[in-house]
């Protein structure tokens, strides 16, 4: 996000400088604002660090820490009324400070674009839909349990061992891992998290279910 702001800032300075020169030379200072659109018009907005509205400030702070969480989880964390939260999200989405993506049938919310989430930097992924799928959001309970288990250092040696650890059938675990591999969350070759999620437990990102003691029937 910092790179976007830096680029926009430099571009704005250059354009403003040209406008000033043109205005001074031709006396067009009063006309230029109406003739030339702002340098940032039509660009993707990056989340600001400071927000005048306290609710929007808390929304952005939460989404920066937990990119991709769904509405009910965001509402729970903020302890906000349904209508109030939806109103402020609509404003943030309209000004392109918040992005929504459908992941596994759930609407997930991001501060800025999913491809700009810190743990995805260096992966080469620029498509927001693919980036969103590579984050551990919109998961079923079993998929969450698999990811949580794989964040630990003592990773099971096989899917059968993982199934025993979770108290689930091998077929159910096999299916869950298949989905996680398709999404790029679990490695294709080994029973481990993908490289960009290798430090998930110690990351500044917060996914509250990682520390849950998952009990599956």
Judgement on whether residues 108 and 163 belong to the same structural domain of the protein: no
pLDDT, position 48: 52
| C-alpha dihedral, 23 to 27 to 29 to 30, nearest 10° | -160
Q: Is residue 199 part of a domain?
A: yes
pLDDT, position 51: 61
pTM for this one?
0.65
pLDDT means over runs of 10, the chain (217 residues): 43 44 44 40 41 87 90 92 95 93 88 87 88 89 92 90 96 96 94 88 68 39
Which CATH number goes with the domain that contains 171? 1.10.10
| Distance (Å) of CA 187 to CA 14, 158, 179, 204 | 45, 13, 11, 22
Judgement on whether residues 152 and 196 belong to the same structural domain of the protein: yes
Separation of alpha carbons 168 and 153, rounded Å: 21
Which CATH number goes with the domain that contains 87? 1.10.10.10
pLDDT, position 21: 44
Two tokens, residue 171:
């077929």
Two tokens, residue 107:
């609407």
| Domain span holding position 98 | 54-125
């Amino acid at each position: 996000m910092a790179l976007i702001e830096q680029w926009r800032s430099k571009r704005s300075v250059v354009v403003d400088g040209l406008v000033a020169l043109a205005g001074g030379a031709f006396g067009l200072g009063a006309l230029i604002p109406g003739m030339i659109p702002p340098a940032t018009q039509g660009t993707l907005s990056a989340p600001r660090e400071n927000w005048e509205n306290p609710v929007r400030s808390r929304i952005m702070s939460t989404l920066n820490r937990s990119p991709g969480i769904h509405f009910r989880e965001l509402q729970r964390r903020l302890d906000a009324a349904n209508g109030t939260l939806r109103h402020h999200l609509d404003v943030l989405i309209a000004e392109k400070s918040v992005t929504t993506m459908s992941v596994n049938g759930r609407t997930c919310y991001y501060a800025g674009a999913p491809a700009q989430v810190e743990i995805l930097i260096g992966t080469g992924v620029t498509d927001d839909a693919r980036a969103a799928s590579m984050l551990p959001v919109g998961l079923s309970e079993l998929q969450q349990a698999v990811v949580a288990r794989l964040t630990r250092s003592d990773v099971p040696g096989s899917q059968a061992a993982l199934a025993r650890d979770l108290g689930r059938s091998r077929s159910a675990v096999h299916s869950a891992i298949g989905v996680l591999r398709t999404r790029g969350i679990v490695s294709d070759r080994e029973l481990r998290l993908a490289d960009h999620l290798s430090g998930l437990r110690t990351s500044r990102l917060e996914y509250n279910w990682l520390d849950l003691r998952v009990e599956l029937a």
